[in-house]
């Protein structure tokens, strides 16, 4: 997971970078809005932590620019401005969360993790991999136009695999994301669920989408 911290105060920026890095995130820092936008255009980020009071282009203008240009990753505003109007403005402009300074890093980290776990709000209603089609709003999956009869859990598992199509997901990642809990090594439940899903998703069809990566986990991808 890659984060961008937009913060002009070097001490806070370093503190955030260190904290997020220790928590396992790859973290870049931009000291102002212009630098932030050029970094965001140059490489993908999974989440932006955005200060509002920045030199030059302020945080709300950065946020407006991002959302107007179709940038979809979540944005968490971190700022000393604490008025209700500021919060409402930030959220209306497309921020996903808002935390007022001074803040506890543990809280920021918890919020960032929560946001990254939930599916993006602005994703398209239908996702496709090969002839598999997932209608997220209707909770319906079809292959080659044929309806797959999935349980709620199987649908959640398939949604995760489709959203991360082409990426190998470890059993632990799947367990945390679909069951929302921390498994201490026992990810057998994941294998059982994947096997059931595969029975419905792949077994009836000549082309297989779900592949086991030995010793690592699973990946869903179109065979072409």
Binding site for Ca ion (CB under 5 A): 8, 51, 53
In this complex, which beta carbon is closest to Ca ion, that of residue 5 or of residue 210? 5
What is the torsion angle, in degrees rounded to the nearest 10, for the CA atoms of residue 216, residue 3, residue 42 and residue 79? 170
In this complex, which beta carbon is closest to Ca ion, that of residue 50 or of residue 169? 50
**Residue 101 C-beta: closest distance to Ca ion, Å:** 9
- Asked whether the beta carbons of 40 and 84 are under 8 A apart, the reply is no
- CA-nearest of 42, 36, 35, 51 to 4 is 36
**Residue 7 C-beta: closest distance to Ca ion, Å:** 6
**Cα(49)–Cα(109) distance, rounded to whole angstroms?**
11
Render the burial of 92-111: b for 16+ CB within 10 Å, e for the rest: ebbbbbbbeeeeeeeebbeb
**Residue 138 C-beta: closest distance to Ca ion, Å:** 44
**Residue 81 C-beta: closest distance to Ca ion, Å:** 10
In this complex, which beta carbon is closest to Ca ion, that of residue 53 or of residue 173? 53
- Asked whether the beta carbons of 67 and 80 are under 8 A apart, the reply is no
In this complex, which beta carbon is closest to Ca ion, that of residue 33 or of residue 74? 33
């Amino acid at each position: 997971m890659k984060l961008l911290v937009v913060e002009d105060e070097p001490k806070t920026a370093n503190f955030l970078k260190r904290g997020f890095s220790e928590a396992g995130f790859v973290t870049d820092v931009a000291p102002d809005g212009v630098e932030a936008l050029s970094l965001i255009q140059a490489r993908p980020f999974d989440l932006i932590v955005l200060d509002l009071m920045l030199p030059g282009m302020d945080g709300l203008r950065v946020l407006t620019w991002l959302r107007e240009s179709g940038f979809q990753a979540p944005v968490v505003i971190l700022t000393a401005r604490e008025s209700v109007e500021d919060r409402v403005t930030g959220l209306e402009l497309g921020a996903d969360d808002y935390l007022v300074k001074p803040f506890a890093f543990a809280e920021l980290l918890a919020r960032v993790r929560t946001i990254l776990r939930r599916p993006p709000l602005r994703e398209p209603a239908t996702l496709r991999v090969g002839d598999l089609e997932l209608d997220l709003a209707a909770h319906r999956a079809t292959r080659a136009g044929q309806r797959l009869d999935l349980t709620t859990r199987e649908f959640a598992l398939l949604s995760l695999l489709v959203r991360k199509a082409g990426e190998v997901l470890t059993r632990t990642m799947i367990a945390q994301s679909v069951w929302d809990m921390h498994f201490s090594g026992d990810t057998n439940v994941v294998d059982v669920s994947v096997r059931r899903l595969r029975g419905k998703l792949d077994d009836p069809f000549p082309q297989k989408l779900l592949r086991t990566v030995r010793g690592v986990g699973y990946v869903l991808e179109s065979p072409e």
